[in-house]
Amino acid sequence: MTRKNNLKLPRRLTILGGAALAAGATMPARAQLTIDMTRPSFEPVPIAIVDFGGDRVGAQIAEVIRNDLQNSGLFRSISPSSFIQRDVDANSAPRFPDWRSVGAAGLVVGQVQSGGGNIKVDFRLWDVVVGQQATGLSFNSQPANWRRLAHIIADAIYKRVTGEDGYFDTRVAYVSESGPANARVKRIAIMDQDGANNRYITDGRTIALTPRFSPTLQEIVYMAYGEDRGPPRVYLQNVDSSRRELLGNFPGMSFAPRFSPDGTKVVMSISADGNSDLYEMDVRGRALRRLTNTPAIDTSPCYSNDGSQIVFNSDRGGSQQLYIMGAGGGGERRISFGEGRYATPVWSPRGDFIAFTKIGAGGFGIGVMRTDGSGERMLASGFLVEGPTWAPNGRVLMFFRGNPSSGGRAGAVSLHQIDITGRFERQVPTPGDASDPAWSPLIPQ
């Protein structure tokens, strides 16, 4: 297996070569370093991750891997202070009894070598229970890319143990909030999914909201108020060059944009003549097509994972509910029937669920339902809980929470992530207040 890719993003990763490391023996028919996420309950997999040898960056790589796996809730990272074997050679089989003694089911070892202005990173995941190698990879890249390589390795471990794709080598766009309540600054920021490498892509001179990634990660769409105090508009911005374009100069508001799965179209709401309808715009040709035409407020559209349908929320039935229609418009059908109001629906990348915000007398909540409206489950609730977004593997959601005990401080909002089962909620670190996250696809390698 060989990987050669050039990622056209500000922080580029060029993997000059990536290959599988051969296992020391044939894998058994039933590997025991696994976790079944379909079971109602399970224990996190205990895993030992040794600092990678050969270069000081090896300890940093290991720490990022530990944090990624631990934060997923599916792994329990064993403290390095309990390790018995200290002289672990990444190219030799470990002393398996020592690792069984500390309770490890898996062991991750690695080596970093520098040369020719690049680094070579090798890693192996050992199945401690059966005493054999489970997987391994080797990468050559620029030294500055060590953090991305750590996320890629964590994804490989996650997939080997769970059988599902990882989500660590991703980014999150969100609204960074600061300032007093009467002069709130809201600008778009982008960071790695673990909170590292945060940077701002709007300057805060106008309020910017609802950032959404293109499938290629090269562009985002968002809504921003004009500096001339005009109505809010939808903008398309290149993440690399920061070049910004206005997507249509309409007489009313345009808002709630989202890309199609192939990145060629953007669906959004446009408000005119007292009502809001859904429109689809070709990103390059700028051709505009109207999808709904009712006196109701239709907004928050999101394509299905295959691009054939759109879910949105509308008050056309008297209260704010979720509806599905064909991607070209027509055939609308209501799918939400619980108590309260429903908003911000987002189709899972797997195509099996729709996540949403639910508003009721008791506050806000984040829930999921099947695409026909059945099986509704609430995952999180609170004073202000809104804006779900899916990890690219469809197993994890991110959203934002408001803090009612902030002493009256404006904002006091933070990003959180939670497993689709409703377990493992944790706060995602950001430099300041943060809301309205959008999770990217996996970064191309």
CATH number at 107 reads 3.40.50.10070
- 442, 169 in Cβ contact below 8 A? yes
Residues 357 and 210 in one domain: yes
Which of the listed residues 142, 162, 182 is the one where a domain comes to its end? 162
Residues 136 and 258 in one domain: no
Residues of the chain whose pLDDT is less than 70? 1-19, 22-32, 40, 229, 405-411
Could you report the per-residue pLDDT of 222-261, keeping only the tens digit for each? 999 877 767 899 999 999 888 999 998 887 889 999 999 9
The C-alpha R_g of the chain, in whole angstroms, comes to 23
Residues 276 and 370 in one domain: yes
Q: Give the per-residue pLDDT at 35.
A: 84
Q: What is the dihedral of CA 100, 106, 112, 118, to 10 degrees?
A: 180
Residues 212 and 286 in one domain: yes
Domain count, the chain: 2
Q: What is the dihedral of CA 286, 292, 297, 298, to 10 degrees?
A: -70
Q: Give the per-residue pLDDT at 15.
A: 53
Residues 141 and 180 in one domain: no
Backbone angle region of 382, left / alpha / beta, with phi > 0 → left and psi within -120 to 50 → alpha: left
Residues 350 and 384 in one domain: yes
Q: Give the per-residue pLDDT at 409.
A: 52
Which of the listed residues 136, 162, 188 is the one where a domain comes to its end? 162
DSSP letter for 80, please.
Answer: G
Residues 185 and 115 in one domain: no
Distance between CA atoms of residues 198 and 209, nearest Å:
17
In a domain, 33, yes or no: no
Residues 134 and 219 in one domain: no
In a domain, 100, yes or no: yes
Q: Give the per-residue pLDDT at 252.
A: 83
In a domain, 30, yes or no: no
What residue numbers bound the domain in which 232 lies?
171-439
Could you report the per-residue pLDDT of 107-145, keeping only the tens digit for each? 999 999 999 999 999 999 999 999 999 999 999 999 999
Residues 154 and 186 in one domain: no
Residues 84 and 105 in one domain: yes
Tokens of 404: 């009612």
* H-run or E-run covering 158: helix 146-162
Which of the listed residues 162, 191, 211 is the one where a domain comes to its end? 162
In a domain, 123, yes or no: yes
In a domain, 289, yes or no: yes
In a domain, 380, yes or no: yes
CATH number at 408 reads 2.120.10.30
Q: Give the per-residue pLDDT at 16.
A: 52
In a domain, 431, yes or no: yes
In a domain, 37, yes or no: no
Residues 179 and 261 in one domain: yes
Residues 129 and 272 in one domain: no
